Amino acid sequence: MGLWIGTLLALFLLITPGTIVARLTQLTWPVAIAVGPALTYGLVALAIIPLGALQIPWNGWTALATLVVVCVVAAGLRVLLARYRDKEAEARGVGRLPAVIVAAGVLLGALLIMWAGYRGLTHWESVPSTWDAVWHANEVRYILDTGQASSTHMGELRNVETHQPLYYPSVFHALTAVFCQLTGAAPTTGYTLTSLAASVWLFPSSAATLTWFLLRPISTQWRAAGASATAAALSASFTSVPYVEFGVAAMPNLVAYGVAIPTFVLIASTPRHRDRVPAAVLALVGVLSTHLTGGFIVVLFLLAWWLLDALWHPVRGRLADVLTLAAVAVPTAAILAPQFIGVLRQADIIAGHAFPSFKSVKQGIIDALLLHTRHLNDFPIQYGLVALAAIGMAMLLYKRIWWPPAVWLVLTVATIYSGAPFRNPVGRAIEAFSQFFYNDPRRLTAVVTMLATPMAGIALFAIVVAVVAFARRLTDLFKRLPTPVWRAATAVLLVAATVLTARHYLYRHLVLFGDKYDSVIIDQRDLMAMAYLAKLPGAHNTLIGDSNIDGTAWMYAVADLHPLWTHYDFPQQTGPGYYRYIFWTSARKGESDPKVIEAIKALNIRYILTSTPNVRGFATPDGLMSLEKSKSWALIYDNGGAKIYEWRGPAEAPRP
């Protein structure tokens, strides 16, 4: 299975189930395809929590059963809600040819992103060196092995010793596990392909959806379609999403951002299309279950849109519109209650995140305005795209579309604070907001980029249309050309502008896609060591001692061996356990320390796998230093990049 075929299969799995449900709820084809991924994640989210609680395995069959059940329910609700269908509102939907234009722009944007992925991921079947990739691949392996995909049960994987409860959004991983089952892909390969598929499709689709939502009430279908298509194609040039998010392996965050805008637009349409409430609930469940930050984006956009637009232009009256929106929010909250409880238990961990840039407030303002983060320090600033976004924002303000600039302002202030925090009452108020984005300028800038892309698309479309109109006036002085010629010229100029812009920024995107598929942390020698270890007696029935910072946690995803550390974790955090900490600090002492013997027995460790190098900036744990000098550990394998040790000490700790 090649990269292109694998990505197409992942796209099919991402879009098709949700689109089927959307069509059953009477959504038109363009709307159904736009919200399809959000509904697909909603299907997964509906199933994995109850299935996990009932110990029913999540796999391809239970996924199919979930789809069938939801389709039956959707068909029933369609009949029950038929009297709420507004045929006049449906008649105002996108026409066939404008929909084709928008689809062409989305496909062009997706193709441009895919081309960058194809060129950048030259070693896409290798093991990536990013911090979070190992956790995502291990989680996929865990779901394949156990069938347990519930977000509230991820402590069973991460907290190897204690199994202390941990909430971690696992919808992305659950869908990836189904992909692996259907295609036979390995967990690491499946992780890469599904991540690339989400990157390729979600952001051109989101840019087109938001642009249409902004322009259709004030413009003709044709102009709204042209600007939407332009924004979709231009989305391939903005670096923050998807390229930076892919580069740092923030995949649940990436897909949640990608489905947030279609979900927002679907919910915002419910006051006029009340029969869409069930689909909106399912989509919102999908976004919030993929990553809570994506759900917060939906809520933020909805609040701004309501306060600055919908409140002053009600569809059926303010109270009726509020009740319709509440009909989406209340069931969603009830469905997600178990997840919200899990998150509240970890609120202090989330609030404790901080990613200051250690720059001045002045430089923080400049970086925020220019969509620059620390991950882009090696690349020039995208001045042209920023200028287009500024022009597009000015056009929205001129048309009295206030809420997108208002959201941009709030997010930009939060970005400035996250990079250069200041401690005063104002700062504390900003932090109360920015902590929903982990106080991370990267995450905040990604949301700003999602707003900037439609603005830039609107500006580019307007500029090209103005240039063509001016050229037509000049030409008409000498010879009149038919209107289709000028339309074709407009289309050619827009395609050329978006393609050349994507080509201009191609090389930075190649780097961000493929830079970490470099076989630095896990190379061929590590893979050989894992394969050798997998054949040793008892290796699959015991826990493998390893370090938390050298990438050996990949042994689970790669070789189905169970490591002591399934992530680049830290023993000081709540959850890892007493014996794991002893091993981390003192394993090399062996039989000379009764606590080590006790820990080896409690953890059921027989082998240790070590590797070089460590993740940059981290030192090897004291317990794994100089193991070859220990009388209790025998070096049984060494290929120059990885070593395997076997326990030769007593089976039990001596009695006092």
Strand order in the sheet with 605-611: 562-563, 543-545, 605-611, 642-647, 633-638
Give the least confident one: 46-50, 65-69, 435-439: 435-439
Q: What is the mean pLDDT of residues 262-285?
A: 97
Strand runs labelled E in 180-309: none
Residue 349: per-residue pLDDT: 64
Structure pTM? 0.96
State how far Cα 485 lies from the chain centre.
42
* CA triple 7-443-8, angle to 5 deg: 5
- Percentage of residues in the chain with pLDDT exceeding 90? 86
In which band, very low, low, confident or very high, does the pLDDT at 656 lie, cut at 50, 70 and 90? very low
Residue 329 has a CB neighbour count (10 Å cut-off) of: 15
| H-helix or E-strand spanning residue 643 | strand 642-647
Average per-residue pLDDT in the chain?
Answer: 94
| pLDDT, average across residues 370-379 | 93
Q: Residue 398: which H helix or E strand, with range?
A: helix 383-398
Confidence class of residue 343 from pLDDT cuts 50, 70 and 90?
A: confident
User: Distance between CA 456 and CA 656 in Å, rounded?
Assistant: 74
Please answer whether residues 353 and 440 qualify as being in contact, where contact means their C-beta atoms are separated by less than 8 angstroms.
Answer: yes
Question: pLDDT at residue 123 above 70?
Answer: yes
Q: Which residues of 341-358 are buried (b: 16+ CB within 10 A; e: fewer)?
A: ebbeeeeeeeeeeebebe
pLDDT given at position 380: 95
Beta strand 633-638 pairing with 642-647: antiparallel
Tell me which DSSP letter residue 242 carries: I
Q: What is the DSSP letter of 240?
A: I
pLDDT in tens, 64-75: 999 999 999 999
pLDDT tens digits, one per residue of 594-609: 999 999 999 999 999 9
Confidence band for 563, pLDDT divided at 50, 70 and 90: very high
Asked whether the beta carbons of 113 and 242 are under 8 A apart, the reply is: yes
What is the percent of the chain where pLDDT is above 70? Answer: 97
Residues 103-112, mean pLDDT to the nearest whole number: 98
Residue 617: partners with Cβ closer than 8 Å, 6 or more residues away: none
* Cβ 385 vs Cβ 458: under 8 Å: no
Asked whether residue 83 carries a pLDDT value surpassing 90, the answer given is no
Checking if the pLDDT of 574 tops 60, the result is no
Q: State residue 142's pLDDT score.
A: 98
Whole-angstrom distance, CA of residue 74 vs CA of residue 24: 6
Predicted confidence (pLDDT) per residue in 127-174, tens digit? 999 989 999 999 999 999 999 999 999 999 999 999 988 899 999 999
So what's the pLDDT on residue 622?
A: 92
- If one counts every other C-beta atom within 10 angstroms of the C-beta of residue 474, the result is 8
Residue 532: name the closest of 629, 643, 606, 626 by CA: 643
d(CA 243, CA 375): 10
Specify the pLDDT at position 655: 46
- Mean pLDDT for 431-437 is 90
- pLDDT greater at residue 338 or residue 403: 403
